[in-house]
Structure 1
Amino acid sequence: MARRKLRLGAFFSMPGNHLAGWRHPDAVPDANTNFAAYMQLAKVAERGLYDAIFFRDTAAVAGADAMHAGDRSRARLARMVALEPVMALAGLASITKNIGLIATATTTYNEPYNLARRFATLDHMSNGRAGWNLVTSQFEDEAANFGLKHHPDHAVRYARAEEFYDVVAGLWDSWEKDAFLYDKAEGMYFDFDKMHFLEHKGAHFDVRGPLNLPRTPQGRPVVAQAGSSGPGMNLAARSADLVFTAQLEIEEARAFYIELNGRLAAHGRQPGDLLILPGLTPIVGRTMAEARAKHEQLQELMPDDVALSSLARLSGGLDLRDFPLDGPLPPLPPTNSGKSRQQLAIDLAKKENMTLRQIARHMASAAGHRVLVGTPSYIADEMQSWLEADACDGFNVICNHYPVPFVEFTEQVIPELQRRGIFRTAYEGATLRENLGISVPANRYAAP
């Protein structure tokens, strides 16, 4: 029996996922808006045979509400601006051939028709390599950019997201695969009976259709989802091909893996229809001592006020500056932002008996994702153990700064995974679905 192979995403959280990573001597501090840096990283990722490039996105400057109220401390933070990810990926489609191209787009502050067209266009431009990371906006800063005084409640955001997905998936089925005839002799451009109006009428959307694009090269773009709360897992179980999640311990990751796969049957799906990729931040050294020294150097670059800002959106409205840094994490009121990420911080602080300073520095260094500090062999050991324990299907690799740590992981850890027979040595197909090993959804209107 063939060994199960890891799936790897290259999560480009630029200029670095570590809040002080941009200050590192090797970092390119403007990498988040430097398209030449994007191209360089995309080429490294494709040489490394990653399944996909992945871009995060928000529809606001992070912390804009606090800055609008006069908080000047955020001038220390780098992840404030970024290129619009779908446009950036469209550019990268022209310099890559096999790697998938996944962008985040919120269901809270978009409309289904525009978004369906945007990702279908990317799928056509890339010959079947597009993916949509479906999110409900966590950041309350976004509301004021769309005429709202308050961010919609968590439950409302997920109800809208469920319907949003249904509309987008329906629009992607507007045309059957062979609808376009291009018959010059008969003067028939398309088969009228293979074009379909969606006629959706729901609580949030009223959309007629059809989409003004043909069916895409991979049937429809891959759908990723990143929610780990109860509503997030329900949405993933019915809609997602990939799930990105934050998991720190193998047993907790395995429990999440089992629970999420267990929810698939209720939606007519089965294990294998959905791939789960926890985030992983690698710090690679030739020796363990060298890797630890790299980690310590990064941590020394981060002032306490910067670290504390990493918890601001999860604080439930508390001003954490009012609490002693060397005291415990105070009880946090429920947040209307990232509920699963808030719970992760609370649980970790309690389990490890962390002070407010310690949990803030942990969240600021990896946004709640697992940090692996060590040699290529050690990091490969840990990745292999999670795969073989059914705690994941692969990992989303997120680096502290760019490009050096990403190049080091790609050139040192991936060959070790290949030697063990748990990572590909060549792409399996031309489309993202083919490389991930996930099926093409049938068009709902086409005859079986």
Structure 2
Amino acid sequence: MIKNKPNLVILVNAFVSAKSIGGGDRFIMEVAPTLSKSADTTIILPKVGYRHWLQKGLAKAKYIVLRPTVFDNRDNPFAIMLAYLIRCLQTIVILKRSRLSHLVTASHYLPDILPAAVIKWLQPDIRWTARMYHLIPSPTKRVGNPLTNTAVFLLQRLSLLFLRYADLIVADNRETLIHLRKMGFLPNNLKLLLSGIDYQTIANHIPRKNFPFAAAYIGRLDPHKGIFDLPQVWRLVVKTLPKTKLAIAGYGPKETTRNLTREFNRNNPSSSFSFVGFLPHEENGSHPLYDLLKSIKVLLLPNHEGGWPLTVAEAMAAGVPVVAYDLTIFRTAFTRGRLIAPMKDKHIFAKHVIALLSDERRRKKIGHIAEKQARQYDVRPISRQFAQLILGNGPVLPSPKPRSHPGQ
């Protein structure tokens, strides 16, 4: 039994909708059970995020749910901004009344970072560990609404100013770590720890429902995720394999979803694709997302940017090979079990999808390689490393460094 447990508070305030969850938030959900064994853990979060945590069933933690506002669960960027500002104020008030020795922020978003910086300034002895997973590129280099992209970019830059108060910043990919160093963050305050997944649950999962799809896109419906490349990619796939069907699993703003649906209808027969909405990891004892992963043969990841892609690791754990664009992460972490196309080259992307769906023997071979690679990202040992980093319970093991491997 641990005496005098640290008082740990985790801020998970960046939820936009009850219908979606980011990879950073999901990672914190996966490691929270380990943290709660070593510390008296309190999780502060909005009501739109509470549902996800309830389904996860973390018994040993205390929850403080922020009072909802009319701006929660809305697509509008202005409403999201107001919701975030209100959450900042609510959280600061709660933290000032709380007894805590350690603080963890789940994301780089303002409602996590600003309250943490304020309480760190007021109580310097608190140890603040910040999780960082992606640096947003300049709005001139990002697809999507220019005003939204500019606002998101500037808000992250503001968060980075407050982030300098953190005692430790844990990046989930080497590229982000290098960029933070170039921005002047002290090397002693930076650590690399790759994210993790519930490998055992996914690998051993027996689906309750079999989906009729050969391939899937899984993720938030945002332009920078490359979603508007999908209609043309899939048109090329269906030309060669006319009976093949794609699932688009995810949630996004209404206007984006309408535009994407229109592009699919313009490029593809309606029988070749289906929008299945957001599929949760857990729901009333079932695992809808894992059902889909166990049903498909290929995962499509057309992202134009990003850090450590949780969906890729989860698909690989299910034995599903991945087709993606040439992001740095596929040369550092996910070096096998995937086929890579040059950035925005939809023809090569489609060619890879066709190759996998046309050759079951090769697809299974690459899927087996993918599953083997995913084992090293089992969240259990990674959770222990994360706990050691933030609580100081013993030596920190190095993050796994996959060997570079040509081809698959």
Higher helix share: 2
TM range (shorter): 0.3 to 0.5
Determine which structure has greater relative contact order: mean sequence separation of CA pairs < 8 Å that are 6+ residues apart, divided by chain length: 1
Q: TM-score, normalised by structure 2?
A: 0.36
The structure with the largest alpha-carbon Rg is: 1
Q: TM-score, normalised by structure 1?
A: 0.34
